[in-house]
Amino acid sequence: MRERKGIMLLDALIIILAVGVIASLLIPYIRTEREVRLRNACRNRMQIISNLELKYFETAGGKIVPKAETTDTSDTTAQKKLVNKKDKPDTSYVRAFTKNIDELKKMLPEGGDTFDFVCPLDGRPFVIVARDSFFFSISCPNGHGQIIMGSPTWENK
């Protein structure tokens, strides 16, 4: 009776040790899976912000109606203006990048106001740098990457 109890205890001990070993093997794998998932989610968010920034710039903060929405084709001067938009900036509105999150939020499609400007890993806000019409960048505070002037740094590797 006493011997049997001892064997059962040994069995239990072996099982506990085995579970411990398996867990220690699996945890790093689960952790990296999670990290990759969060990194990708983070990069997606930065990509969305980058697009908002470009839209903000293109429409001068919503003051200029995007090309697709203009229906009047009879006005040739307006058309000419649109065609030459890239080489000759519209002088009536100043196009600039912004680091103001509230301004960028206005560029979100309808119902997109729940979008977060934070890294999904720990909720720290993205670092947005904007210099007038010359430069903008979005960086993750956790080193998930950076988007400079609309180009993600992780795609150059």
Site residues, Zn ion (CB under 5 A): 42, 119, 140, 142, 144
CB closer to Zn ion out of 98 and 146:
146
Q: How far is the CB of 55 from Zn ion (least distance, A)?
A: 22
CB closer to Zn ion out of 140 and 147:
140
DSSP of 58-69: HTTTTTSPPGGG
- Taking a C-beta distance cutoff of 8 angstroms, is the pair 56, 98 a contact? yes
Q: How far is the CB of 120 from Zn ion (least distance, A)?
A: 7
Other C-beta atoms within 10 Å of 59: how many? Answer: 16
CA 150 → CA 81, 83, 97, distances in Å? 24, 22, 11
Q: How far is the CB of 153 from Zn ion (least distance, A)?
A: 13
Q: How far is the CB of 154 from Zn ion (least distance, A)?
A: 11
Residue 82 φ/ψ region, left for φ over 0, alpha for ψ in the -120 to 50 degree band, beta for the rest = alpha
CB closer to Zn ion out of 46 and 61:
46
Residue 41, classed as helix, strand or coil, is: helix
Other C-beta atoms within 10 Å of 137: how many? Answer: 22
CB closer to Zn ion out of 42 and 147:
42
Question: CB-based contacts of 35: which residues, under 8 Å, 6+ apart?
Answer: none
Q: How far is the CB of 144 from Zn ion (least distance, A)?
A: 3
CB closer to Zn ion out of 44 and 79:
44
